[in-house]
Each structure stands twice: as structure tokens, then as C-alpha cells.
Amino acid sequence: MNLKSVFVIFWICFFGGSAEAQDTLKIVNHLHDYQQQLKGNPNMQLVEIVKAIPSVKLDIRYATKNNFTGVAVYSQARAFARKPVVDALQKVQEELKKQGLGLKIFDGYRPYAVTVKFWKVTPPDKKAFVANPKAGSRHNRGCAVDLTLVDLKSGKALEMPTAYDSFSEAASPTYQNVTPLQKKNRDFLIKIMENHGFTVFKNEWWHYDFNGWEEFPLMDIAFEKL
């Protein structure tokens, strides 16, 4: 067992996880293991989104203090997702382009240690908005993306019911007390993502799970190593 594994188990035991979680939860935290999985299945590859789709905009809030934790939790402003997820995003981007629109990515693959940290710093009444480390997050599997729509020319985000990571009732994709423009933009985003194999999260209009995420393991490998 290397230092990293000890660290992960330490986090699970002392910060919100349970003793049984460390027995049942399988987390890929060695680069070698990830590379082995990649050899057996090329779909396992964590692809840097902007390298595959150069026209997407990035706003990686977790690499800045401008996020709900108030501190930078990523040391690099990068976004990754598994290969089939990025392939699907590429199709979404192509379709949006015809209407002068594009995607802006807030977050993709998130190392498991960051999910543990989020759980720890989130107050009890807001825990519905963050993943419980006992099960891990679909972001930890490289199969969830947080995103919104932008005007391709200006780069300006389209108006949505709430800001990103607004832990409020209005962030629900079915929240009704919104302006007609906010509703139109939100529902359009949800529809185009659903058409390409994603499901919107019930509490957050910006969070999309890739259908089939169960086939991808949880990971705790830093961006720097990918």
C-alpha cells in the first residue's frame, strides 16, 4: 500500500465515510492500474475535452477561489472525461454550432479525494447538491460534466435560472418559477444533452451524467498525471 492509498482510506475513515466504505468501494488510484484498464478497453481513456473539441469554452471554477468552497481545489484548470463521453459532447457541440451556440464546461472528471473534501465542507442542509463519498460521484468515474450554453461569437453564457453551483431550489431542472427565456435556454440544453446520451441531475440543471456510467470505475488520479 502506497502513501496515496493510505491517504484515501484516512479520508474515508475520518471525514464522512464509514468503515465499510473502504471495504466495498473500489477506487483506481494508481496510474499503472489506469493504464492497464486502458489497454483492455480504449473507452476508459480520460480525454482532455478541449483537446478533442477546441471550440468549447472552459470555466474551471474549482481551479479558482470562485466556487462554493472558497478555495482552489484543483491545481490545474483542466477538464477531462472518458472517451465516449467526449465523443458525445463533440456531437452536441456540432449541433449547437449550427445555431451559433457552444458549450462552456465548468467541470468534468473529478478525483475522488476532491469529492471527499466537498462532502466535508458542505453544510448538512446542502448535502443533496454534493455526492456522498460512500458511493463516490459520477464525476469520479469521468462520466459527469457540469456545463452551460454560450454564444459562440461573444463567448457570453446564455441566461439560465441560476448561476453554476447555486445550491438552491431554483437549480432543479424542473423548477417552474423562472422567466420564459431562462426556461427556454434550460430546457433546450437539457433536450440536446438527452438526445446525445446524457441525463440531467434532478437538483442541478448544469450537471449531466453519461448513460452507462456504471461501467466506469471511480478514480483518484490527479490531473497532472493524466
| Site residues for Zn ion per CB under 5 A | 146, 207
Shortest distance, position 104 Cβ to Zn ion, whole Å: 14
Shortest distance, position 139 Cβ to Zn ion, whole Å: 6
Task: Specify the residue, 143 or 178, whose C-beta has the smaller distance to Zn ion.
Answer: 143
Q: Looking at beta carbons, which residue is closest to Zn ion? A: 207
Shortest distance, position 78 Cβ to Zn ion, whole Å: 16
Shortest distance, position 165 Cβ to Zn ion, whole Å: 9
Is the Cβ–Cβ distance between 207 and 201 less than 8 Å? yes
| Spatial separation of the C-alpha atoms in residues 222 and 226, rounded to whole Å | 7
Task: Specify the residue, 5 or 203, whose C-beta has the smaller distance to Zn ion.
Answer: 203
**Three-class SS state of 151:** strand
Q: Which residues contact 148 (CB under 8 A, 6 or more apart)?
A: 103, 104, 106, 157, 158, 160, 164, 189, 206
Shortest distance, position 44 Cβ to Zn ion, whole Å: 20
Task: Specify the residue, 38 or 157, whose C-beta has the smaller distance to Zn ion.
Answer: 157
Task: Specify the residue, 35 or 56, whose C-beta has the smaller distance to Zn ion.
Answer: 56
Output phi, psi for 51, to 5 deg: -75, -35
Residue ranges of E strands in the chain: 27-28, 46-48, 57-58, 80-82, 101-107, 144-151, 198-201, 204-210, 218-219
Task: Specify the residue, 6 or 128, whose C-beta has the smaller distance to Zn ion.
Answer: 128
